[in-house]
């Protein structure tokens, strides 16, 4: 089974802190994604990466950056956390092969910024 693992289930951080969210996948997938999920807004794409050291902005990249130094690991960085970044963060990965490039999700990290 594909496994996408996020390093923390729950995090509480202070305003202004630098926050790192880590994600690791074990299926050699080319693509990795970071979404945030908020009530009434669904999942919104923050950043994605289609190869090591390659990244593309999603729909809401402001206030975030990412790092992909190894194929299996994709990190989301909040440079200076703010209260409006309190949310559920979901990492996903998908392969390039074939038509059915479904995304597999991690369990999510619920981040609270106080």
**Phi, psi (rounded to 5 degrees) for 47:** -150, 155
Q: Which of 24, 25, 33, 64 binds another protein (CB under 8 A)?
A: 33
> Of 14 and 42, which CB lies nearer to another protein in the complex structure?
42
Q: What is the DSSP code (8-state) at residue 83?
A: G
> Of 17 and 26, which CB lies nearer to another protein in the complex structure?
26
User: Shortest CA distance to 8 belongs to which of 24, 26, 21, 25?
Assistant: 21
Asked whether position 17 contacts another protein by CB under 8 A, the answer is no
Pairing of strands 109-113, 10-13: parallel
Minimum CB distance to another protein, residue 58 (Å): 6
Per CB under 8 A, which of residues 55..74 are in contact with another protein?
58
Q: What is the largest CA-CA distance in the chain?
A: 44
Site residues (CB under 8 A) for another protein?
Answer: 4, 31, 33, 35, 40-45, 48, 50, 58, 90, 94, 96, 99-108
């Amino acid at each position: 089974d594909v496994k996408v693992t996020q390093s923390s289930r729950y995090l509480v951080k202070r305003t202004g802190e630098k926050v790192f969210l880590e994600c690791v996948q074990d299926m050699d997938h080319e693509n990795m994604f970071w979404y945030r999920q908020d009530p009434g807004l669904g999942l919104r794409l923050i950043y994605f990466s289609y190869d090591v050291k390659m990244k593309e902005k999603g729909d809401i990249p402001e206030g975030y950056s990412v790092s992909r130094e190894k194929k299996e690991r994709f990190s989301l960085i909040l440079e200076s956390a703010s209260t409006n970044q309190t949310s559920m963060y979901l990492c996903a990965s998908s392969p390039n092969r074939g038509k059915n490039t479904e995304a597999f999700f991690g369990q999510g990290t619920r981040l609270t910024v106080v």
